[in-house]
Structure formats: C-alpha cells, structure tokens
Amino acid sequence: MTNSELFAVIRTKISEVSEIPAPEAKAGAPAHEGKPYRDPYLFVSCPAAKWTDLSRLLKEDPQLDFDFLVMVTAADYLTPEPKMEAIYHLYSFKHRHKIFVKIPLPRENGSVASVISLWKTADWQEREVYDMYGMKFSGHPNMKRILMWDGFPGWPLRKDYAHIPDRYDD
C-alpha cells in the first residue's frame, strides 16, 4: 500500500490521527543548505490519549498488520515550544510497509500507554526511553531505569540536562 492508502485506512478508524508533512526548506534559507531529507515512509502524529487504540489497530487490522516493532525512541525540544515526542517505528513482515508514529507529550510528567502487550520488544526499549528522557509508560510492569543506575539524578538525553560533577570527573 502507498502511504496515502495506509493513512486513509487509519483515518477511517481513528480520526484524531494526523499526517506529518515532509519538512520543507525554510523560507529565505541560503542555497547551500540544500533540501531537507526525510525517509519516504508514512509519518503520523497521534495524541497520547488515542495511542492505545491506534497501536491495537496497527497491530490487529489485517490491512495494516504491523507485527514488528523496529524501535522506540523519543526526542526532546526546547524551541519553538517545549515538548517531547515518543517515536515508534513499525514494520509489517507480511505487507512490507513501514510507519513512524510520533506522540507529542508535555515535558513534565509526560505519560504514554505502553505497548508491551502487543509487542514484547517494547519492554526494554520503553525502559530505555524512560531512563533517558523521563517519560512514563503507563501499564509497563517494570518501569525502572535500565542503562543508568537507580538513583541517578536527571534524565541524560534531555536538552536541558546539566551534568553534576562527581568523583569521576578528575
């Protein structure tokens, strides 16, 4: 299926989902900056409240059938407005199509539904995102740090993370 057909299938079931348009060159940007690049897959934005419905649809609808969760990550933005995004990349072995889902969240106390019941690989990947960005995944049975140690101060991959000097700095 093409991207627009994929999006039409999703849109008929969940109307809150919107397509993220490909980035365009900023007006007045110098020529040497070149054209912005984005992979030719479908990028959708989904409100956090609808992610449970959308994830189930993506996994279980026979036309979509996204059975493989490739990766989970997040991105942190301070400008233009402070926000975070949880990013899911899915793939279908049967139909060979791909999708990126981005879920906008507030920077403080952001929470998104865990998809561990649909894709077991979300277990560690969501823990890693929590570890690095501090966003909670509700419904995850073991939501604690994975790469950093318990009691580590702060969320390392946030853009306003400040390193506190400790005994390893010398």
Q: Which residues would be at the binding site for other proteins (CB under 8 A)?
A: 23, 25-26, 33-39, 67-71, 73, 75-76, 87, 89, 93, 96, 100, 119-121, 123-125, 128, 132, 145-149, 156-157
Nearer to other proteins, 35 or 167 (CB): 35
Those residues with Cβ within 8 angstroms of residue 4's Cβ, 6 or more apart along the chain or in another chain: none
Residue matched to tokens 């899911």: 88
Q: Which is nearer to other proteins, 112 or 132 (CB)?
A: 132
What's the closest the beta carbon of residue 141 comes to other proteins, in angstroms?
Answer: 12
In angstroms, the CA 34 to CA 30 distance is: 8
Q: Cβ of residue 76: shortest distance to other proteins, in angstroms?
A: 8
Residues 8/24, Cβ–Cβ less than 8 Å: no
Spatial distance between the Cα atoms of 81 and 93, rounded to a whole number of angstroms: 37
**Token pair of 155 as six digits:** 């969320």
Q: How far is the CB of 122 from other proteins (least distance, A)?
A: 8
